[in-house]
Structures are given as C-alpha cells and as structure tokens.
Amino acid sequence: MCHNDGPAKVEARLHQPGRVLDCPRGHASGRPPARSRPDDTLHLELLIPSLFWTQGQGADVMRGIAAPTLERWLSRGRPGASIPGTADRWLWRRFTAPAADAPAEAPTEAPAPQGRALAGAAGTPVPLALPLAPVTLAVDGGDPGRRWWMRADPVHFVIGRTGLRLAPPSLLQLREEEAAALATAVRAHFPEIADDLRAPVPGRWYLGADEDFALETTAPADAIGDDVDRNLPRGPGRRRWLGFVNEVQMLWFDHPVNQARERHGEPVASSLWLHGPGRMPDAGQPGCAGASGGGELLAGLAALAGCRWLPAGELADPWLGRTAAGRWLLVLDPLVADAQAGDPFRWRTALECLDAGWLAPLDRALRAGAIARIDLHWPVHGSLSTLHVAAADRFRVWRRQRPLATFAALPAGRTDA
C-alpha cells in the first residue's frame, strides 16, 4: 500500500491527507516522457520526508527492502551540504519573505517554561511551530486578509505511562458531519472566543482574531507520541487559551459524536491542538519554476509566491508529462503517515512503492536527458541531508551498490562512508 495525493485529493481541497491506496508498480510504457529540445530539461529538487526509519533499530527495519534505485543513488551520488532546519521550515524560508521586524536568525526553538525543561520525545528542544495557519486557510477556501489566524485541529490522545500522548493525525479521521457537529458545540459554548471558528476540513480547523494570540506553539508533527503537557502552548496568552482547550475537552467528553465513535470502536476527538498562529506572510522568491506535492502547506506557499503548483499523483510518468522545463521542487510524502504511526511494516511497503513508482521512472528520465540533475533532500535530526544525483553517476562503478540497511548504520546524513 502507498499514500496518494493525486488530483482527486486536490479537487477536494486536500480533505484527506495521507490517504492510503493500492500502489501500482511500474508504468504503462516503460519509457520516460520524451523532451524534444536540449533546453527542455528539468532540474529537480526532490524532498522525501521520513526517507529513513529513525525510531530505533533502523538497520533491522530497513534490511531486505526492495528499493534498488534508492540504493544506487545513495551508493553513487555525491553528498552535498547539509541544510539547517526541518523540512517544513526550509520550505517556509524559500517561499516567504522575512518579516520586517524579525531578527536576522529567528529562533526555531521555544524557551523552556519556568521550573521545567522543555523537551521532545528524545529529550531535544521542541521547535516552534511555523505561523502557517493563514497560508493553509487560503488553500482550504478561506480569506485570511490581515487578521490573525491559528490552527485548532481536532486530535486524539492516548494514555501513556507518564500521561496523555498525542496520537498521529491519521488515526482520528473525523467525518465531515462529525466535525461540523463538534465545531457547532464549541461555537455555542464559547461565543466570544470561538465566534470565528472555521472548520473547512475535518482535520484542519481555524480560529480568527483581530490581535496577536500571544502564543508560542508546537506543531502536531513535532509532538506525536510525546507527553501532551510538554508540548502545550507557551507565552503571555497561555492561561486564556489553555483554559479554552481544557473546557473543550470537558465539552467533548460525552458529546454524542464521541459516544457514537466509542460504540463503533473508533478513536474519539479528545481536544483541539492549537498551533501555527500568525498573519499572512509576504511572498518570497522560491527560485523554482514550479512545485508539486507537499500537501496543503506547499500548495499554500506556492500560491502565496505566485508559483505554479501541481499535485504529485501516484506515479512519476504522468507527473513528468505535466511539468515544464526549469527548476522544480517535488515533495513526496507517502512515508510520513506510517512513520508517525510507528508502523515499520507499512513503512517498508510504502518505501518499496515509492522506489518502483517514482524513483525508478525519475532515474530513467535522468538517463534519457529529460532531467538534468536531481538534488535529493531528506530530514535527519533537525536538518536536511542533500545528495546530488546525475546521469553520469551510473559510471561510478568503483562505488559498489550497497543495501539500504548499511546507510542506516552510518552517522546521520552520511552516505559516503
């Protein structure tokens, strides 16, 4: 199985991110789309989140995976400079202009609240969430204007050994009528604070305000599996908004929607996760002719910067037929949901699908001259590793092709050991 973010998903305004579909292997023709002129080539920047299994026993999990194209790239490609920051933060820096009142290097980590250390699941500092709410609101059909917006996404908590933990977003999967009923209850119970609560997508809700929320927040992706208390909002507005969240939890505890979901053995909506507060940023200069994939964040950033955006689809060949010449940024994220869920078996299958349906056709296009070069990026411990892949790399036969498990055992981000 592998995840699909094809045209149908985009037409539905990305209502079902992370949906799992059967993964077709190979392609119809076996040949990359032909390009008629030498200058009709792509320079592809390829970002693949969760490319390596990082949740322990990486070498064991990756042993025996059938991903020959990825193995050859890692074995014979040329390592590039590491890029600081997470994948989402790298995309944000590319597509937005720095705020006029921001310091030269804005902090990416939240200061620890008084009396305790702020740490993620591995004891590392928790990064601040990007102010993405207005960007994704625009993708979801709203008009952010110059107001302040904050994401308030329904989430499910699971009981851990030391307290409540945040479950992966893909676990909840509210239906539209369920989300509408829960949102109506919140608006009715909090007419002042939630008067402008919007729920255009079951998994993405928004709160609007005329002034700054005065909060520092943690993105759900950075808190999955961690104690909820360690990742709650910080800042001057903390008391007000934590009080709001706590009351939502009590309001929803015996709500008919949750009662029905419990009867059917489905996860309940435990609370709202506040993150990404801010106003619409100014557009940057992303330095690419087009972007593709990456869900609602990249779609919104591309629209902000006036950059063409295409859904990635299930396979590389149709995508190659729809792209134009120039530098393109492609984000392939079918591995993320399984990595977040901690499911190594489905993650292995998704990686094999990715190699067969995407990497192998891209490699054929590279050898045929339709792609000039591929710059592969993947996240490793708070930064992005880079590998430059060229058609001539296949002649570097002195660098024997090694199995993926050997790369999992190397120092973070290294492929040349």
Q: What is the pLDDT of residues 32-64, one digit of tens each?
A: 544 444 456 889 999 999 999 988 777 888 899
Q: What is the pLDDT of residues 375-393, one digit of tens each?
A: 999 998 888 999 999 988 7
- Measured over the CA atoms of residue 116, residue 118, residue 121 and residue 124, the dihedral's sign is negative
Among the residue ranges 108-112, 247-251, 352-356, 413-417, the one predicted with the least confidence is 108-112
In a domain, 264, yes or no: yes
What does the angle CA 18 – CA 221 – CA 6 come to, to the nearest 5 degrees?
Answer: 20
In a domain, 67, yes or no: no
In a domain, 343, yes or no: no
Query: Total domain count for the chain?
Result: 1
pLDDT of residue 182: 98
What's the token pair of residue 235? 């800042």
In a domain, 81, yes or no: no
Average pLDDT, stretch 338-348? 93
Range of the domain at 203: 124-309
Buried b or exposed e, range 394-406, using 16+ CB within 10 angstroms: eeeeeeeeebbbb
Average pLDDT, stretch 199-208? 97
Chain position carrying tokens 């020959």: 68
Give the separation between CA 44 and CA 252, rounded to whole angstroms: 46
pLDDT of residue 29: 42
What's the token pair of residue 334? 């079918």
Widest distance between CA atoms in the chain: 69
pLDDT band at 102 (very low <50, low <70, confident <90, very high): very low
In a domain, 163, yes or no: yes
What's the token pair of residue 411? 């120092």
Give the separation between CA 249 and CA 197, rounded to whole angstroms: 16
In a domain, 45, yes or no: no
